[in-house]
Copies of this chain bind each other. A is one copy, B any other.
Amino acid sequence: MRFTLLCKVCGKNVPFGLKTKICSCGGNLNIEYDMEIVKQTFTKESLTHRDSTMWRYAELLPLENKANIVSLGEGWTPLIPLRKAEAMLSINKIWVKREEQNPTNSFKSRGFSAAISLAKEYGVNQVAVNSNGNAASALAAYASYAGMKSYVFLPKDCPSLLVKECLEYGAHTFLVDGFIHDAGAIVKEGETLQGWHNIGTLKEHGRVEGKKTMGFEIAEQLNWKLPDVIIYPTGGGSGIVGMWSAFLELQQLGFVTGDLPRMVSVQEKGCHPLVHALESTGRFIPQTANITSTPTGMRVPNPPDGQLLVSILYQSGGTAIAVDKEEITQAQVSLGHQGISSSPEGAATFAGLLKLVEQGWISPKDEVVLFNTSCSMKYMSITHTDLPIIKTFEDWAKLSTNQ
Q: Which residues of B contact A164 (CB under 8 A)?
A: 377, 380, 385
15 contacts between A and B (CB under 8 A): A48-B49, A73-B98, A100-B105, A105-B375, A146-B339, A160-B385, A165-B377, A168-B332, A169-B336, A174-B387, A176-B391, A177-B389, A193-B393, A377-B377, A382-B384
Complex contacts, A376 vs chain B, CB 8 Å? 168
In the complex, are the beta carbons of B103 and A105 less than 8 A apart?
Answer: no
**Contact at B399–A339, with CB atoms within 8 Å?**
no
Residues of B within 8 A of A185 (CB): 392-393
- B383 in contact with A161 (CB, 8 Å): no
Beyond A172-B400, A176-B391, 17 additional pairs, beta carbon < 8 A: A48-B49, A73-B79, A101-B101, A101-B103, A141-B340, A141-B341, A145-B338, A160-B385, A161-B380, A163-B387, A168-B332, A169-B339, A170-B337, A173-B387, A174-B388, A190-B393, A194-B397
**Distance (whole angstroms) from the CB of A82 to the closest CB of chain B:** 9
List, in ascending order, chain B residues with CB within 8 A of A153's CB: 396
How far is A371 from B367 in the complex, measured between Cα atoms in Å? 38
Q: Is the CB of A392 within 8 A of B73?
A: no
A175 near B393: Cβ-Cβ < 8 Å: no
Query: CB within 8 Å of B: which of A101-152?
Result: 101-105, 141-142, 144-147
Q: How far is the CB of A53 from chain B (nearest CB, A)?
A: 7
| A389 close to B175 (CB less than 8 A) | yes
* 7 smallest beta-carbon distances between A and B, as pairs: A73-B78, A145-B339, A189-B393, A382-B382, A168-B336, A170-B337, A141-B339
Known contacts: A73-B98, A380-B164. The answer to whether A144 contacts B176 by CB under 8 A is no
A323 within 8 A of partner (CB) = no
Cβ contact within 8 Å between B103 and A98: yes
A323-342 interface bits toward B, Cβ cutoff 8 Å, 1 = contact, 0 = none? 00000000011001111110
Q: A84 near B: Cβ within 8 Å?
A: yes
A222 to chain B, nearest CB (A): 14
Q: Which of B84, B391, B397 is the one whose CB lies under 8 Å from A178?
A: B391
The one of B105, B186, B400 that contacts A393, using a Cβ cutoff of 8 Å: B186
Query: Does any Cβ of B come within 8 Å of A76's Cβ?
Result: yes
Q: Which residues of chain B are near A336, meaning CB under 8 Å?
A: 144, 168-170
Cβ–Cβ < 8 Å partners of A299 in chain B = none
Q: A256: CB under 8 A from chain B?
A: no
Whose C-beta in chain B lies nearest to the C-beta of A73?
B78
Complex Cα spacing A351 to B87, Å: 48
Of the residues B80, B104, B146, B160, contact of A73 by C-beta under 8 Å:
B80
Closest to A341 in B: B168
Q: Are A382 and B385 in contact (CB under 8 A)?
A: no
| A253 at the B interface (CB under 8 A) | no
Q: Which residues of B contact A389 (CB under 8 A)?
A: 156, 175-177
Q: Say yes or no for A390: interface residue by CB 8 A criterion.
A: yes
Q: How far is the CB of A109 from chain B (nearest CB, A)?
A: 10
Q: Which residues of B contact A278 (CB under 8 A)?
A: none
Give bound CA distance, A393 to B142, whole Å: 24
CB distance from A152 to the nearest CB of B (A): 11
CB of A90 within 8 Å of the partner chain:
no
